[in-house]
Structure 1
Amino acid sequence: MDLTLLYRGPLASCDYDCPYCPFAKRRDSRTALTADREALERFTAWAAGNTGDRLSVLFTPWGEGLVRSWYRRALVELSHLPHVRRVAIQTNLSGRTGWTAEADPDRLALWCTYHPGQTPYNRFLGKCRDLAAAGIRHSVGIVGMPEHLAEARRLREDLPERVYLWVNAAEGRTYTDAEADRWTAIDPLFPYSRHPHRSAGLPCRTGSSVVSVDGAGTVRRCHFVKAELGNLYDGSYRAALRPRPCPLAVCDCHIGYVHLETLPLYDVFAGGVLERVPAPRT
C-alpha cells in the first residue's frame, strides 16, 4: 500500500528565538539528544526494512533537525531506498546544505521557513539559491505577521519564480479582507490558511493512508488527534488503518488539513504534498 508517515521524535531544541514559538532557544540535554538519535535510527531501520509498502516520510520535529547529523543521515539514507517515494523535512534552513549532494534529488525535499530577525536575509536567500542550483525540491515560507510583509514581498521578488513561497496565517490572528489580499498577492493559496477548516465528521486520509508516528513508535491518525492506533514496530497499527471521519471541530494546520478529502489540496499539490510544492500550472 501507499503509506505516508509524519514522524516527530522527542527532539525539542531549536537554535532560533521566534517570539511565536514555544520551543525557541530551547536546549535538549545530551541524554535527550541521544534518545532522539536512537529513536530516529530505529524508525529509519524500520522504513528500510518495510519494503512491502511504498512510503512517503515527512519529518516534523518540534526543534530544528538539520543541525543534527542523524537527521541529515536519515534523509540521505531514505532517499536512496527504491520503495521510498519522497522523504522531506520541515526546517529553518539554518544549517549547511552541502549534505544534500549525497541524497537522491528525485526523492529528497525540504520545507523551508524564513524567520525574519533570526537570520540575515541574504544568508537565507543564498541557501535557497543553493538548493535551487542543486536541483533539490523545496518550498519556502513565512508566517503572515504584519511586520513580515515587506520581507515576504522581497523574498518573493528574489526567489526563482518556480519556487513556491507560502504564507501561514499567524496563529490566533484574524485578517481583514484588505490584509488577506496583501498576503494573497504573495501566496495565491493563502486563503486556505486564513481560516481554520471545519472538519468534524468529514472524511480525511489520516488514519487510513496517512499516519503520525512518535519516537516510541506510537501511531496516531495525525499529530492533532491523541487516540492511538497501535505501534509501528510490532505492526499492531495495521489492523486499525481504515477510512474514518475527523473527530475534531476544526483543523487549522497545513500538515493536517491538506489531507481533508473535502479540500482539493491533493490536486493542488499533486506530486508535492509532503514538501508543500504545488503542481505546475498548465
Structure 2
Amino acid sequence: MLSLLYRGPLASCDYDCPYCPFAKRRDTTEQLRADRAALVRFVSWVGAQEREISVLFTPWGEGLVRSWYREALVELSLMPHVRRVAIQTNLSGRTAWTARADLTKLALWTTFHPGQVTHERFLAKSQELVERGVRHSVGVVGLPEHLEAARRLRKELPASVYLWINAAEGHTYTDEEAADWTELDPLFSYSRHPHRTLGLPCRTGHDVISVAGDGTVTRCHFVKTPLGNLYDGTFRPDPEPSACPNTWCDCHIGYIHFEPLRLYDVFTDGLLERIPLLP
C-alpha cells in the first residue's frame, strides 16, 4: 500500500491561534481556484491507480470549510482501492456531509483550540461524529494554559475517542509537567522530545510520500528534495525504507514513519488519523 500526505496551496484558516503562522490568513479567489483545481487533479490521479492507496490531507489552512475538500473525502472513500482517507481539521465546519462517505474508510484528525472555540461547541461537534459513526481522534497543543481545558475535554469525551497531546513547539517540559500530559495521552513521550533520525531508516519515500499541489513528490514534508512528480511518471518509490537525511524529527506526521520507534505496531490501522491501538 502507498500512503500519500497531500498538501495543496490552501493556506487560509478561520482561526487565529497564536502558535500558528497561518492563522487568519486569507487566500485570494485565484488562490482558492488553484487549490480546487489541484485537488481535483489529485483525486483524479488516485482514481486511476490500481494499487491500494491511503490519503491524509495536511493543509496549512482549514480544508473542511471548503466544499471541494468535503467532496474529495467522500469521493476517495468510495473508491474500492482506497483503504483510508483522512484530514487534519479544527472541526469548525459542518458534519452532515459525512453521511455520503464510506465510514469504514473515512477518518478525521481533529484538534481542539481553546480560545478559538468553546468547549461546549467543540464537544458537540465531536459527539455529532460519534453519533454518525465517523472515526476520529481529538488533540490539543500541550501549552500550560491548555491543561485544564484538555483535562475537562478528556473527562467528557467518550472513552472510545482518543485524545492526543502535541508538545508545543519551543516549549520544554519538566518531568512533572510531562506527567500531567501523559495522564491524558499515554503516548505523549513521543512528542515531548525530538527524535534523532540522521542516517537511520524511515519509511518515507518508500511506502509513504508527501505530494504538493503541483504533483511534486518529496519523501516527507520536512525533506524538500524532490523525488519526481506524481503526474509525469518521474516518481518511483524507494524499494525499502532508507536513511533519513535530517538530524532530528519532532513532528508526529514525520516520526511516526521512523522505523526505530516501531509506531506502526502502535497505531496499526489508525496510523493516518492518529488513533493508536491501546489496551
TM range (shorter): over 0.9
Q: Which residue of 1 aligns with 2:229?
A: 231
Q: Does 1:102 align with 2:100?
A: yes
Deviation at 1:134, TM superposition (A): 1.1
| Aligned counterparts of 1:5 and 1:116: Cα–Cα separation in 2 | 30
Q: Does 1:31 align with 2:4?
A: no
Q: Does 1:9 align with 2:21?
A: no
Q: 2:206·2:237 contact (CA, 8 Å) conserved in 1?
A: no
Q: Which amino acid aligns with 1:142?
A: V
How many residues are treated as equivalent by the alignment?
279
Q: Which residue of 2 aligns with 1:271?
A: 269
For structure 1, list consecutive stretches of 5 or more residues without a partner in the other structure: none
Q: Which residue of 2 aligns with 1:48?
A: 47
Q: 1:39·1:215 contact (CA, 8 Å) conserved in 2?
A: yes
Deviation at 1:234, TM superposition (A): 1.1
The Cα offsets for residues 198-217 of structure 1, whole Å up to 9 and x where unpaired, read as: 10001000000000000000
TM-score by length of 2: 0.99
Equivalent of 2:254, from 218, 243, 256? 256
Change (3 A) 1:23 1:195: same
| Aligned counterparts of 1:228 and 1:121: Cα–Cα separation in 2 | 41
Equivalent of 2:141, from 132, 140, 143? 143
Q: 1:55·1:83 contact (CA, 8 Å) conserved in 2?
A: yes
Q: 1:230·1:240 contact (CA, 8 Å) conserved in 2?
A: no
| SS of residue in 2 equivalent to 1:90 | strand
Equivalent of 1:196, from 194, 197, 214? 194
Q: Which amino acid aligns with 1:174?
A: T
For residues 148-227 of structure 1, the aligned pairs below 5 Å read 148-227=146-225
Q: 1:217·1:232 contact (CA, 8 Å) conserved in 2?
A: yes
| SS of residue in 2 equivalent to 1:124 | helix
The Cα offsets for residues 183-211 of structure 1, whole Å up to 9 and x where unpaired, read as: 00011100000000010001000000000
Deviation at 1:264, TM superposition (A): 2.1
Deviation at 1:21, TM superposition (A): 0.3
| SS of residue in 1 equivalent to 2:145 | helix
Q: Which amino acid aligns with 2:36?
A: R
| Aligned counterparts of 1:239 and 1:110: Cα–Cα separation in 2 | 27
* Structure 1 runs, 4 residues or longer, greater than 3 Å off: 239-242
Q: 2:112·2:140 contact (CA, 8 Å) conserved in 1?
A: yes
For structure 2, list consecutive stretches of 5 or more residues without a partner in the other structure: none
TM-score by length of 1: 0.98
Q: Which residue of 2 aligns with 1:116?
A: 114
Q: Which amino acid aligns with 1:33?
A: L
